[in-house]
A and B are shown apart, each in its own frame.
Chain A
Amino acid sequence: MESSYETALELDLPRAMLERATSAGEWNLILPVVIALMAGALLAMIRHSRGSQVGFSVLAVLAIIAVELDLFFQVLELGPVAMTMGNWLPPFGISFVADTMSVSFALAASLVTLVVLIYFQAEIVPREVRHGFYPLVLLLLAGVTGAFLTGDLFNLYVWFEVMLIASFGLLIIGGRKMQLDAAIKYGFLNFLATTFFLVGLGYMYGLIGTLNMADIALVAGQADPAPMTAVAALFLLAFGMKAAAFPVNAWLPASYHTPDAAVSALFGGLLTKVGVYALLRIMVALMPASRELFDPLLTGIAVLTLILAPMGAIAQTNLRRAIGFLVIGGIGAVFAGISVPNVLGIAGAVFYAFHSMLTMSAFYLVAGLVERVTQATDTRHMGGVYAANSLISILFIVLVFAAAGLPPFLGFWPKMLIVEATISQQDWILMSAVLINSLLTSIAGSRLWAHIFWRPGRDGANSEVPNDHLRELNSTEKRMALSAVCVLVGFIVILGLLPNLLFNAANFSAMDLLNPQSYITSTGIETGTSLTGETQ
């Protein structure tokens, strides 16, 4: 190996490989994914022993959070860091790149996973544990983290599929009929979306001969714009489907309410945000010319998603289906940010996606608690929970305000950024859509609150008669589920009151996305290369 490398040097061939091994310190970039994958594999082996799996999976997620925190502060201080696999130089080796946006999303994802793992202790079903709940959760986290940290388009596709197959498993793990029905719709549509993504990246490789993201950012502008637009359209469709933006959102309200609440929370927090992340990374940072072309379309998607999604939530009687529509409404806000191409808009989109990961997971978890207390999934059969358990009602209303974007909760700050951005572009339609979304979301949320908590009885003539179907939370549910949700909601409230760190992170992310120079430099790719290979 060594001698062949020396021969290559003598022959004066262009450098394609690194001369030294990557130092151990730089491995923290790949560690989150490695830990999650290894832990997933180990958990699959010990999936029959129920007790050890809990501790082991929580330890693994804690280790991932520790590594990601280290990475987060490193990235905030030094800018993006990168690592290329197998000693190859980019674009030949597969790169992993961490910038502020990817690390903060990965951090939010593992925090949500930790809370969900603890919450699951309250609704644990031995059969589901035997069928591999814990390994699937860890593999889902591996897929999501890999998608956030990778710097290579084909690798992104592979992580999408890792995430997809793990989510299939989690979606049907209870084996209820409703879950099978939901999994058919979820499975087919998401599989189609990743196939579109695959077509797009195949075309892209044919056009510009590279799939390394930093390299694409360098050369995408020089490619023939017409076929590049087709590629961008395919990406927009694929990631729009993944993110559940308006015309292609049907799979989300059809599936997210069918599994256990813990699984719903994991999906609501993580899956759609990966689509959003890919849109931000690819449309904004890598193909800005094509994004500009799609601006009217992006604005249209944003306006329609913003307004129609909360209206869907108002029309629902099933609690978790209604929350599914609120998740989609948040995607509209992110699209609004993406369609305003300045630092404010992009920072708002990044910030909103981060907020939505935490808030929507917490929302599903609280919904799971409500379902446990009322023993119903339909809001018509709920009522009187305020008297029975006022803590849940406080958690719920805080999350409604956070999702609607009312101050001082976390959702307010990104919405403020997005509205400021639309004002700076004088895009009054988009601005009113964002504000109407807030209004409609708070209407939908407070309607749910009034039906579940405020009125004493269930729907119909006897809504004033106290609900006799309520039950107390047992001690496990209080100790595990309720406290886990309280911690998550407390985290959301504190972040909402002290948003400075997130503001900074969102600003850094937006600047890195709009001017990917530091991202490109971090990978060590030669700047100044062009499609024809002549250095400029």
Chain B
Amino acid sequence: MLQKIYDWIDDRIDITPIWRDIADHEVPEHVNPAHHFSAFVYCFGGLTFFVVVIQILSGMFLTMYYVPDIENAWKSVYYLQTEVAHGQIVRGMHHWGASVVIVMLLLHTLRVFFQGAYKKPRELNWVVGVLIFFVMLGLGFTGYLLPWDNKAYFATQVGLEMAEQVPLIGTQLKILLAGDATIVGAQTLTRFFAIHVFFLPAALFGLLAAHFILIRRQGISGPL
């Protein structure tokens, strides 16, 4: 049945080359943990992506309950945590996943660094990777404020002070982030929410696409 549906579509729009191009490629022996167990270090990039998928899915579902408004943000999170079945688990996935993403990202970076895999011709992909790292930190920073509890509020206060230390444009940068010159409040929360769920994920998707296209074009670096 499934085969028939697939054939029907494939007859008309020839999708086989599309997924073959994405999925069907050789895994060199030196990156296959079945051959050399130490090759598990090559898994960290994929694991980072896997956790990112978890973050995207759990985040999408969390917005069904969350409201980015200073009157209701904390209450909606509390309601989700205490009244909604599995709400605690989904928020837990997003909360812990945020940390795991950074850990995996760091391990992936260390592997690439110590194997010298960033060297010519892959310097550009290293740069893209560093940009992804910055976007991830931005996602962590903006997401931290959203529960609108004391920890979130004061952490953001500190983060904004740090932004203010940037030479020349510090003050403007801080106002741009906070939405107000002095208050960390209603406008800050909506801004951080918008950055967290629209702007940074959009940037992340673009950078991830570039990262993956480059690795497919250039191939995995050779054995040490």
Partners in one complex: no
